[in-house]
Amino acid sequence: MGRPLGSAALSDLDSDSAVCEREVGAAAKGEVGAVVEGGRGDIESRERRAADGAELSAGVADAGERGAEAARNGAHVLPESRRARSLRRVHADGAERDMRQKRPPAFSFLLRMDTARRVGRVLSLLAIDFLGVSLAIFTALLLKAAVLGALQLGAVLKETRGLVAIAYLITALLFARSGLYSGRGQRPGFTRIVASLFQVTLLLALLAIVNGEHFSSYYLFYGSFAFAVLYVASARHLYERLTGVLLAAAGYRRRAVLVGTDEHIVDVAAALRDASRSPSAIEIVGFLAPTELPGSGLTCLGRVEDLDGVLSARHVDEVIIADPSFPEAGAVDLVDRCHQRGVRVRIAPSTMEILIQRAEFVPGESVPLFELGPPVFEGIDFAIKRGFDVVGASLLLVLFSPLLMLIVLAVRLSSKGPVLFRSTRPGIGQQPFQCLKFRTMYTDAEERLADVEPLNEASGALFKIRDDPRLTRVGRFLRRFSLDELPQLVNVLRGEMSLVGPRPLPVRDFELLEDWHRKRYLVLPGMTGLWQVSGRSELDFDDLVRLDFIYLERWSLALDLAILVKTVPAVLLRRGAY
């Protein structure tokens, strides 16, 4: 990946815009007057104004003459910033009004309407969450009372009212922190809801213990959690579907233009098309690049220099910089031109931007330095993750024990050979271990590897064949639903693997890795990960490694839980599995 964009330069745009707004606040429809203060005349200011006016177009020159006239009448003309003169040229050339200036009354009214719409959205979601949390606690208490044979509706309602306030307050705060009240395009889905509700449950349990509360069992917590997931997720899904239908009927689409180079534009466009059925999906208007992309199905709108005309003619909502190596100076100018027209700008991250998230400032140096620590789990992080793995693997083994026995019987009867296949794979620190799997191939599969090598359908170091002739009939079914990997729960208990982490690769694939790929072996390999829930075998290997890096940098217990939950639909829908 190329040099990352200058985030510091981009972050200064807002303050720069505010300065520009104060300096050119008197602008109107392409004519920019001088910024005038009361005071005595200043001969030097008039001379600078005359020199600047010679470089401007006729319309700006007229504005300069008015500023000089104001100076002759006793006013003091402030020197203009480079940004102010740049904006004056934009207006003098007849471009659209800068959206960052003081809004006219009609536009201010529209902004107020947009604010009202946002407030309505947040209030609607808050009401949905309150209803879901209240019903979850009520249902858990009602079920408990019914099982104990002490069902009194009034007592259940009274106890519910006593618990709802603190539970809902924590829920709303954590939901807001997780972005669950954001706009449709930025609002997370089911996995973030589950992770946030899990955090709420843990906080409530800790709060109860600290306050000295005593419980005969902790059913109230995990029971309320289960019902909250059901009610809140269902209600929010219904809200999304209903509002989605209304938006679709109104023709709502986010129109975007991609900017970058050939390879990156095609990759980003392909990723955006995967979500094209969503009501908040992005409609790709076209792209701006040095060359056309024949066969990509995308419309070439010209080069980056044509951005102003494209934004004006195509009614664009956002511009996506698809190339992480986009020139820094060009990015600053592009962002400024987009913000003048109220167009949102988004950037595809580079590997360096992913790494910089773990950068730690090192004080006391003559030059500000940031240290990039190794992406490893240690100390309390390792203890938490290891504890989660042991508890989770134990529960899953008990839960899946009937299914495991059925699979053992099916593999034993379908073909000759052992039930388990022990695949030697590099683990943490690139140390080999025996990765357990149910046998899905005939016993001579390793000997036939060279014969099927030309059939490989994957890229990079991966080896994948959709219709592998070495698979048994039962093995094909197990592979399709990833049931062959269930014995790896034993590897988790042994400490050789984790429930969530980078997938371990066979020795054949490992030997084809580049040096930067092998950084994924600094942690325990996992049974599932971002790769599995983001497309699995449909991704190329470089995308796999980048997803592993993202996981390592953003790890949390909630993220592990979210990935585990999202693995279930990914397996059932058989997305990319073969």
Same domain assignment for residues 227 and 173: yes
Is 6 within a domain? no
Amino acid at 43: I
Using the CB atoms, write b or e for 66-86: b if 16+ within 10 Å: ebbebbeeebebeebeeebbe
- In this structure, the number of other CB atoms found within 10 A of the CB of residue 181 comes to 19
Which of 218, 249, 280 is the C-terminal boundary of a domain?
Answer: 249
Query: What token pair was written down for 536?
Result: 């699995």
pLDDT class of 101 with cuts at 50, 70, 90: low
Q: What is the pLDDT at residue 518? A: 81
Pairing of strands 498-500, 526-528: parallel
pLDDT digits (tens, 9 = 90+) for 418-430: 999 999 999 988 8
Q: What is the pLDDT at residue 456? A: 75
Domain count, the chain: 4
State the Cα–Cα distance between residues 437 and 424, nearest whole angstrom: 11
Same domain assignment for residues 21 and 125: no
Query: Would you say residue 186 has pLDDT above 70?
Result: yes
Same domain assignment for residues 540 and 563: yes
Q: What is the pLDDT at residue 559? A: 80
Q: What is the pLDDT at residue 109? A: 53
The pTM of the whole model exceeds 0.75: no
Query: Would you say residue 104 has pLDDT above 80?
Result: no
As a whole number, the mean pLDDT across the chain is 74
Percent of the chain with pLDDT over 70: 69
Tell me the sheet residues that pair with 417.
none
pLDDT digits (tens, 9 = 90+) for 45-74: 444 444 444 443 444 444 444 444 444 444
DSSP 3-state assignment of 285? strand
pLDDT class of 17 with cuts at 50, 70, 90: very low
Which of 80, 103, 126 is the C-terminal boundary of a domain?
Answer: 103
Average pLDDT over every residue of 141-146? 89
Is 365 within a domain? no
Decide: 322 and 1 in contact? Cβ < 8 Å.
no
Return the closest-CA partner of residue 220 out of 161, 130, 136, 153.
Answer: 136
Which of 78-92, 380-394, 457-471 has the weakest average pLDDT?
78-92
pLDDT digits (tens, 9 = 90+) for 287-343: 888 777 776 778 888 888 888 888 888 888 888 888 777 777 778 888 888 888 888
Instruction: Please calculate the CA angle 575-577-578 and round it to the nearest 5 degrees.
Output: 145
State the Cα–Cα distance between residues 272 and 116, nearest whole angstrom: 29
Decide: 462 and 436 in contact? Cβ < 8 Å.
no
Is 577 within a domain? no
Query: What token pair was written down for 255?
Result: 């129109």
Same domain assignment for residues 93 and 114: no
State the Cα–Cα distance between residues 241 and 549, nearest whole angstrom: 33
Q: What is the pLDDT at residue 32? A: 33
pLDDT class of 374 with cuts at 50, 70, 90: low
Same domain assignment for residues 119 and 259: no
Higher pLDDT, 99 or 470: 470
Is 578 within a domain? no
Same domain assignment for residues 474 and 544: yes
Q: Which residues contact 525 (CB under 8 A, 6 or more apart)?
A: 425, 427, 428, 497, 498, 501, 502, 503, 504
pLDDT class of 449 with cuts at 50, 70, 90: confident
Report CA-CA distances (Å) from 221 to 130, 167, 196, 197, 208: 17, 11, 14, 11, 10
Residue whose pair of structure tokens reads 């300065």 in the numeric block? 19
Task: Name the residue range of residue 78's domain.
Answer: 13-103
Same domain assignment for residues 135 and 86: no
Q: What is the pLDDT at residue 350? A: 57
Residue whose pair of structure tokens reads 């983001």 in the numeric block? 534
Decide: 51 and 39 in contact? Cβ < 8 Å.
no
- CATH of residue 351's domain is 3.40.50.720
Instruction: Please calculate the CA angle 258-262-265 and round it to the nearest 5 degrees.
Output: 30
Which of 44, 68, 103 is the C-terminal boundary of a domain?
Answer: 103
Average pLDDT over every residue of 480-501? 93
Q: What is the pLDDT at residue 446? A: 79
Percent of the chain with pLDDT over 90: 21
pLDDT class of 38 with cuts at 50, 70, 90: very low
Higher pLDDT, 394 or 31: 394
Same domain assignment for residues 403 and 527: yes
Q: Which residues contact 353 (CB under 8 A, 6 or more apart)?
A: 4, 5, 7, 324
Q: Which residues contact 101 (CB under 8 A, 6 or more apart)?
A: 21, 24, 25, 27
Q: What is the DSSP string of 76-111?
A: EEPPPPHHHHHHHHHHHTTPPPPTTSPPPHHHHHHH
Which of 71-80, 206-215, 301-310, 346-355 has the weakest average pLDDT?
71-80
pLDDT digits (tens, 9 = 90+) for 106-130: 555 555 666 787 888 899 999 999 9
Is 367 within a domain? no
Query: Would you say residue 553 has pLDDT above 50?
Result: yes
Same domain assignment for residues 237 and 305: no
Report CA-CA distances (Å) from 371 to 303, 356, 362: 38, 9, 7
Q: Which residues contact 378 (CB under 8 A, 6 or more apart)?
A: none
- In this structure, the number of other CB atoms found within 10 A of the CB of residue 311 comes to 20
Same domain assignment for residues 110 and 91: no
Is 363 within a domain? no
Q: What is the pLDDT at residue 36? A: 32
Same domain assignment for residues 556 and 460: yes
Return the closest-CA partner of residue 498 out of 357, 575, 366, 396.
Answer: 396
Average pLDDT over every residue of 456-477? 80
Q: What is the DSSP string of 286-298?
A: EEE-SS--TTS--
Q: What is the pLDDT at residue 58? A: 44
- In this structure, the number of other CB atoms found within 10 A of the CB of residue 14 comes to 10
Same domain assignment for residues 444 and 511: yes
Is 375 within a domain? no
Instruction: Report how far apart the first and last C-alpha atoms of the chain are (Å, whole number).
Output: 30
pLDDT class of 468 with cuts at 50, 70, 90: confident
State the Cα–Cα distance between residues 90 and 100, nearest whole angstrom: 14
Kindly state the DSSP code that residue 349 receives in the 8-state scheme: P
Query: What token pair was written down for 513?
Result: 């890795």
Is 336 within a domain? yes
